[in-house]
A and B are shown apart, each in its own frame.
Chain A
Amino acid sequence: MSKNTIVVGLDGSEAGARALEFAKTQARQIGDCAIVICYVIEWSPFSFQTPEENEQRHKRREEELALARERVLDPAVKETQGSGAEVEGVVKHGDAADILNSVAKKRGAMQIVVGRVGARGLKDRLFGGVTGRLVAVSSVPVTIIP
C-alpha cells in the first residue's frame, strides 16, 4: 500500500458522494495515493434480540454485507478506479465513528473524509451525530464536507 491513504466514509447519501469527490481531488493532487472507501452498517453488540432474530443473525449479516457492497460500495469503487488512485472498499458492522477511526488507524491513513449529513434530529442533538463523534474519537485529521 502506498504511503498516503485517505479513508472516505460513505453512507449512500449525497453528502457521502461529495466526500468521495473531494477525496478523489485530493488524491490527484497528492499523487501516489490510496483511497479506502468505507461503508458502516450501524450495529451494536449490546442490543436486545429475540431468539428467532439470533438464529437468523448470521444469515442476515451476510445479506446486509452483500447488499451494502452491491448498492453502495461497488459502484463507488468502480467510479473511483478511473481516477488513478489505488481503491479499496470496506464494509463493516458497528458504530460508524469507531469503525472509521479503526480503519484509518489500521491503514496508517493521513486523513478521514466524511460528508456532513444534513439530518438534525433530536437523537443527534442528544448524542451527537456520526461526524460529531468521529471528530471526538479520531486519531487522524478529519475533513468534513458540507
Chain B
Amino acid sequence: MNTFVKTGFAAACASIPNFAVAQEAVGIDQRVNDIFAGSTGWFVNLIFAPLPGTAFPWIVLWLVVAASVFTIYFGFIQFRAFGHAIELVRGDYSDPDDAGEVSHFQALTTALSGTVGLGNIAGVAVAVGIGGPGATFWMILAGLLGMASKFTECTLGVKYRNEYPDGSVSGGPFYYMTKGFKERGLPGGRVLAVIFAIFTIGGALGGGNMFQANQAHAQISGILGDFSGVITGVIFAAVVFAVIVGGIKSIAQVTEKVVPFMGVLYVGVALVILLMNFDQIGWAFGQIFQGAFTGLGVAGGLVGALIQGFKRAAFSNEAGVGSAAIAHSAVRTNEPITEGVVSLLEPFIDTVVICTMTALVITISGVLVMDPDTGRFVLNEAGTAIQTIDGSSGVGLTSAAFATGFSWFPYVLAVAVVLFAFSTMISWSYYGLKAWTYLFGEGKTKELIFKLIFCFFIVVGAAAQLGAVIDFSDAMIFAMAVVNITALYLLMPIVKREMNSYFARLKSGEIKKHV
C-alpha cells in the first residue's frame, strides 16, 4: 500500500468499496505511522539539516569528505590493493594449518549478505526516481571512494577485536574506539563507543529492520493485492523470532545459502536485460553522465542528483557506518590489514556492480517518464520525484523496470526481496545485539529484551509508510557514520602504519603465498 499512498492513489483507493476489515487495518497502519513519524521527526531533521544557505545536507558532505580523505591518505588503496584483495579471498595467502577457521571469503560474504539487499534494489530506485539517472554517477563515485572508508574501519575492527577465553571473537567500532583511543592516549573513547552503540541499535531497528520489513511488505502486497502491513509484519517477526530467540539455526542457514544465489540471479537477469537492449547502453551511460552534471530537469537539479546518489550509496554499502567492522572482525588472520583489503571489495560489489546494474535497467527500461520533445524528465504532481509509468517508487519501480524485460521477473524479485530483507534483518539483529550487550552487558534476559524489541519493530516497519521509515533509517545509519568517522580520523595513523608494514613485507617476500 505504501507505493499507492505515496503517489496519490490513496484517494482513488478510498472511493472503491472496501471490506470493513481492510479499512480498519489501514486505520491501524495510519496510526502506527503517525506516532512513528511524530516521534522521530526531530532527529531526522537534525541529521539532514542543510548547510547554511544551501539545500545540501551536511551529512552527505561529511561522508564524501571522509571517503576522499581516506582515499588520499592511504594512497588510493582501493585501486592499488584490488588485485591483492582477490588473491586473499581466493585463499592464496591462507595458512593451510588454519583450515576450519573463518576464511576471508566467509567474512566477506557474511558482511555482504548484511549490505547487499534492498539498498541495491529499492534504494537505487529511490535515488534514480528522485535524482534521475545522473544520481548513478554520484553513486558509483561514492562507492569507489567508500572502499577506502571500509578498508579503514575493517582493519581497525580486526586489530582491536576481543578474543575471549572460550575462543569466540567480538569486534567492531566499540572496541577500536575504546582500545584504540587508549593506545593513542586520546580521551573520550568510551563516550564515543557508547554513543555509537546507541545509534547502532537505532540503525539495526531502522535500516536493518523497519526499512526491510516495509519494502518486503510493499513487494508482497504488490503481488497479492493491498492488505495491512501488520499481517506481513507479524509473520516476518515470527520467523525472525524463531531464528534469533528460538535458535532455529536451519532457517538462517538456508537463507545464507539461498541469498547469494538470489544475488547472482539478480545480476544475471539484469545483464540479460542489458544485453537485450545493448544498443541503448551507450545512451543510458550518456544519460548518467549528462544527468550527473546538468540534472536533466529532475527534482532539485544537479544537487538533487548528487545528494540522492551519495545518500543511497552510503545507505547501500554502509562504508564509514561501522557496521561492516563488526561482521569482518571474525576472520582468522594475524594481519588485520588483510581483512581491510578484503573488505574494500564490499562497496565495489555492492555499489559499483549491483547498484549500477539496477540503475541501468531502470534507465533503459523507460519506466521514468520523459518528455519526448525536450528530453527532460517529467515530474510527478507533487514535484518531488520523476513521474513513473505506473506511479510506482522504491522496489515497485525496480520491479516494473525488470518486468519490461521479463514479465515473470517481479515474482522472482518478490521472493528475492523477502529473502534479502530477511538476511539483512538477521545480520542487523546481530549488530544491534552486539551494541546492546556492549551497553548493558551480556546475559540471557538482557539479550532477550533486545530481541523482542527487534521483532516488535518489524511489525512497526511493515505498517508504517515508506517516507517515514526511510527518513528514520537514513538518519540512524548516518548518525552511526558521524561517530564512527570521527574515530576513524583519529585512528587512521595506526592503519597507515599497519598498511606500510604489511605491504613492505609482502613486497620483500616475507609474506608468501601458500599455494
Chain A residue numbers with a CB within 8 Å of B430 are 50-52
A-B contact sample (10 more), CB < 8 A, given A49-B256, A50-B253, A57-B100: A43-B99, A45-B104, A46-B105, A48-B259, A49-B102, A50-B249, A55-B330, A57-B101, A92-B99, A93-B99
State the CA gap A54–B103 with chains docked (Å).
9
Whether the pair A41, B170 counts as a contact (CB closer than 8 A) is no
The 3 A-B residue pairs whose C-beta atoms are closest, nearest first, are A93-B100, A45-B103, A54-B330
Give 7 CB contacts A-B under 8 Å.
Answer: A48-B106, A55-B330, A57-B100, A58-B332, A59-B168, A64-B100, A102-B96
| A48 (CB) vs chain B CBs: closest residue | B256
B109-117, B305-313, B465-473, B502-510: which lies at the A interface? B109-117
Contact with B along A27-68 (1 / 0, CB 8 A): 000000000000001010111111111111111011011000
From A50, A56, A93, A102, give the contact of B110 (CB < 8 A).
A50
A103–B467 CA distance with the chains assembled, in angstroms: 60
Instruction: Check B101–A48 contact: CB distance below 8 A.
Output: no
B102-A62 in contact (CB<8A): no
Q: Which of B100, B114, B166 contacts A41 (CB 8 A)?
A: B100
Question: Is the beta-carbon distance between A59 and B166 smaller than 8 angstroms?
Answer: yes
Interface residues of A (CB under 8 A from B): 41, 43, 45-59, 61-62, 64-65, 92-94, 102
Select which of A49, A53, A55 is within 8 A of B169 by beta carbon: A55
A59 pairs with B167, CB closer than 8 A: yes
Separation of A65 and B101 alpha carbons in the complex (Å): 12
Q: How far is the CA of A65 from the CA of B100 in the complex (A)?
A: 10
Q: Is the interface of A mostly helix, strand, loop or mixed?
A: helix
Rounded to whole angstroms, the CA-CA distance of A46 and B257 in the bound complex is 11
Whether a CB of chain A sits under 8 angstroms from the CB of B189 is no
The count of chain B contact residues (Cβ–Cβ below 8 Å) is 37
Residue of B nearest to A54 (CB): B330
With a CB–CB cut-off of 8 A, which chain A residues contact B109?
48-49
Evaluate contact between B94 and A45: CB separation under 8 angstroms.
Answer: yes
- Bound-state CA distance A45–B107 (Å) is 10
Answer yes or no: B252 CB below 8 A from chain A CBs.
yes
Which of chain B's residues has its CB closest to A43's CB? B100
Contact flags (1/0) for B127-162 with A, using CB distance below 8 Å? 000000000000000000000000000000000000
Q: Judging by beta carbons under 8 Å apart, are A50 and B332 in contact? A: no
* Nearest CB in chain A: distance from B88 CB, A: 11
Q: Contact at B101–A58, with CB atoms within 8 Å?
A: yes
List chain A residues, Cβ under 8 A from B114.
Answer: 51
Complex Cα distance A53/B113, Å? 14
B326 at the interface (CB under 8 A from A): yes
Residues of A within 8 A of B256 (CB): 48-50
Closest chain B CB from A9 CB (angstroms): 16
